[in-house]
Amino acid sequence: MPNLSKAIRLLLLFILSVAILYFSASVLIPLTFGGVLAMLLVPLSRWLENKGLNRAFSSIVSLFLFALFIVGLILLLHWQIGDLLKDFSKLQEQLSKLFDQVKDYVRSQFGITTRQQQQILKEQQSGGMEAAAGMAIGTLTTTLGLLVNTVLVLVYVFLFLYFRSHFKNFVLRLVSVPNMPLAEKVMHKASRVTQQYLSGLGMMIVMLWIMYGIGFTIVGIKGAIFFAILCGILEIVPFAGNITGTSITVLIAFAQGGSIDMVIGVLVTYAIVQFTQTYLLEPLVVGNQVNINPLFTILIIVIGEAIWGIAGMVLAIPLLGMFKVVCDHVEPLKPYGYLIGTQNAKEDKSIFKKIFGGKEED
């Protein structure tokens, strides 16, 4: 009975936590992004402080450099989109031809004439005017909400950087004096894990930009740099991001009048980059800093998407990594840390071990 009571309490705690996260998403998502990005910028802020800058100025400079990088990336994408828009009429023509081919296929395979297809499309368009207007309003609302949240995230990042010692001392005041060294160690390691994971992910994305750029250029995709950057950035969203980016590139290859060889080239590029990423870049650059069991990696991403949408998918892994650090250092939670983690934290993840891996113990 005591074990059953404990299990029920844990289940209720989990349900309550999920409910709080779900209904407080509008408040917690910008706050969490601010905290995670602040952890990433702490080393830069600390380095500036060691150079003689005070805490406030070093926090502002760190935030400014981060924002400058994001703005530069947006400008680069805008420049590439401008080149693509120059050939917009050609893209429309190719899309029109592709659409005609689809209509011919439907007519030949399903017996629906072109006139019937056009009638169906007209009915859908006439019935979808109100939906289109609602979609436009929804897009505008979403854009304004995104701008507000971006400003909030930047403010939160600055405040977390500036008051980080204050927050640290607050946590230390919550624990007993004998447990203060352990609490300080847990906070340091959790922050360190997040920093290493995010910085490694950033380096890997830059390498993906280079590889995708080279591959798409060889294949002959117009705006290869834009699609390379797009595919690399979408890697922030685990699993779904890379597939989405490559699917968009394949569609654009069709729209640009690309042959089957070009489409196959895009898919081959994707396969080579994914192989290189999985067996070389992730072990060397990202490493096993988070050290989470693949089952729980997928599970936490699915849960994150269900609770917070795309933001939840992006934040899921670093948050679970921090939770695992806590579990590994708190005695009652160590079994959960073992369950979430891999069987061997120092497992060899080289390409040869991945392909020809030896026998594992049961």
**196: nearest Cα among 311, 299, 25, 322:** 322
Contact 318, 195 (CB under 8 A): no
Domain ranges of the chain: 194-288, 290-345
**For the segment 92-132, what is each residue's pLDDT rounded down to a tens digit?**
666 676 667 776 766 776 666 666 656 666 655 554 445 44
**90: nearest Cα among 249, 252, 246, 228:** 252
The continuous run of DSSP H or E covering 99 comes out as helix 88-110
Contact 45, 161 (CB under 8 A): yes
pTM of the model: 0.76
**196: nearest Cα among 281, 285, 69:** 285
Q: How many residues does the chain have?
A: 362
The pLDDT, as a whole number, for residue 47 is 93
**For the segment 301-343, what is each residue's pLDDT rounded down to a tens digit?**
889 989 998 889 889 888 988 899 888 888 888 888 888 887 6
CA dihedral angle for residue 350, residue 230, residue 246, residue 147, rounded to 10 degrees: 110
State residue 292 phi and psi, 5-degree precision: -110, 140
Q: 275 or 107: whose pLDDT is higher? A: 275
pLDDT at residue 352 is higher than 50: no
pLDDT at residue 23 is higher than 80: yes
Average pLDDT of the chain is 79
